[in-house]
Structure 1
């Protein structure tokens, strides 16, 4: 098997993305798979500018927030007074037409040999496979996948679980991680799966987020400095 890096849930955190890309470059991987939720967050312009340059080199999977931003862009609607829709609109205003169209062009899943990469689950991009989801429930989500290894994201907590005949791996979140102090990602080589956590300048990242002026910037900055401990 070739050497693959999987990065998920960047969520508009430019400092975290830069740190992980530097680590990936050192590893000399064969492929980089970006598992969705790129722009939604405090620094969509900076993140998308970096990844748009890699659009012909990396493989991109659509996350639920990528899809929702694109849908709101294609069919403008009244922005509700809530975090999700306000950040969606912020992303639309920050990105170019070409970047938004590109965001809406990602595929739902990618298969690499016996490994399936999806954002949420093999059934839907908002279906959550959590670290503590009961085995029987996870199995219903993954049982129809032909591949024996499923790599996912969406829930922002790294884990590797054996679910009957399937191995389920959550790569964690690059930009809005939980239960980890750093940018989370996955390195795969042969039959070895390594869950990585890359340190970066959290205080500098938080200060930049405040300066960039996104809606809810204080909440994003605090999350970067003090990642929540969620789950069991």
Structure 2
């Protein structure tokens, strides 16, 4: 049984944001650091993966749809990726990075004090691109939970980059938000589990981070990328409007 687990989701290869979260005392003291996917698709994929690998067995890795897309692009299974920076990021990865990402599970469960058996995944337990939101209807939650074992009472997911905690059909659902590409408000967002749930946000010097990334990254549009995502130009309302058609809504939550 793990006493404390830090959950970092959707890092998207933003090294300054990751370093800020890893420096948090609660993260440094956590029994495990669980990464719920979309780790390397962004401006500093090599630096982020190398840092996380250096932390050894404290890191628990889960693949996200963006990580899968990097692998598919590099292996020739696809010739494009919807995220404009992702093909560039895929080209930066070494063979050991590709091997690592190729071994990652889509989900896994861990026992956490106070929360029982916790399932960690990227988007939903059954699919790495499915969308569920804080206001998704209960029928939608029943559908995405349909294949779960009854002993899983807590589910941690990411993918939509917006933090929330809610109850759905007796299961506690937690989204820690995004470390590297948050929607709604600045900061690197993450969660601390055990025995309860804390949604956390770590401030870092956005101006310095923007300078660092633009100097460190050869992606042609990196200045625009860094300005948009580090300064959180997309509001939570913008993100919810964009994601809403994909969660099957139309029913009363």
Q: What is the TM-score with the length of structure 1 in the denominator?
A: 0.91
SS in structure 1 of the partner of residue 210 of structure 2: helix
Rounded to whole Å, the distance in 1 between the matches of 2:61 and 2:79 is 29
Match of 2:22 in 1: 21
Point out the more displaced range, 30-39 or 203-212.
Answer: 203-212
Query: Alignment partner of 2:90: what SS?
Result: helix
Structure 1 residues 35-69: Cα deviation after superposition (integer angstroms, max 9, x where no partner)? 11011011112211211223533110000011110
* CA distance in structure 1 between the aligned counterparts of 2:171 and 2:118, rounded to whole angstroms: 10
Q: Which residue in 2 is equivalent to 1:177?
A: 182
Gap change, CA 1:213 and 1:24, over 3 Å in 2:
farther
| Structure 1 range deviating more: 134-143 or 58-67 | 134-143
Contact 1:16 1:200 in 2 (8 A): yes
Spell out, residue by residue over 1:95-147, the C-alpha distance to the aligned partner (whole angstroms, 9 max, x if none).
21111111111011110132100000011000112122222212210243221
Distance 1:26 1:129, change over 3 A: closer
**Partner secondary structure for residue 50 of structure 1:** helix
**Could you say which residue in structure 1 is the equivalent of 2:85?**
87
| Deviation for aligned residue 1:77 | 5.0
- Deviation, 1:219, is 3.3
SS of the equivalent of 1:157 reads: coil
Deviation of 1:76 (Å): 6.0
Shift of 1:92: 2.4
Could you list the runs of 5+ residues in structure 1 that have no partner in the other structure?
none
The 5 Å alignment of 1:155-194 reads 155-190=160-195, 192-194=196-198
Partner residue of 2:235 out of 226, 229, 232:
229
The runs of 4+ residues in structure 1 deviating greater than 6 Å are none
Q: Is the 8 A contact 1:4 1:32 kept in 2?
A: yes
Corresponding residue for 2:3?
A: 2
Distance 2:94 2:138 in 1: 42
1:195 partnered with 2:196 = no
Question: CA contact under 8 A between 1:206 and 1:225: conserved in structure 2?
Answer: no
Is the 1:8–1:173 Cα contact (8 Å) retained in structure 2? yes
Q: How does 1:55-74 map to 2 (within 5 A)?
A: 55-74=56-75
Contact kept in structure 1, 2:6 and 2:27, CA below 8 Å: no
Determine the structure 2 residue equivalent to 1:124. 127
Match of 1:108 in 2: 106
**Conserved 8 A contact 1:177-1:227:** no
Give the total of aligned pairs.
228
1:155-199, CA deviations, whole angstroms, 9 ceiling, x for partnerless residues? Answer: 000000111211111010000001222000010111x10000000
Q: Residue 148 of structure 1: SS of its match in structure 2?
A: strand
2:243 alignment counterpart = none
1:139 is paired with a residue whose SS is helix
1:139 aligns with 2:137: no
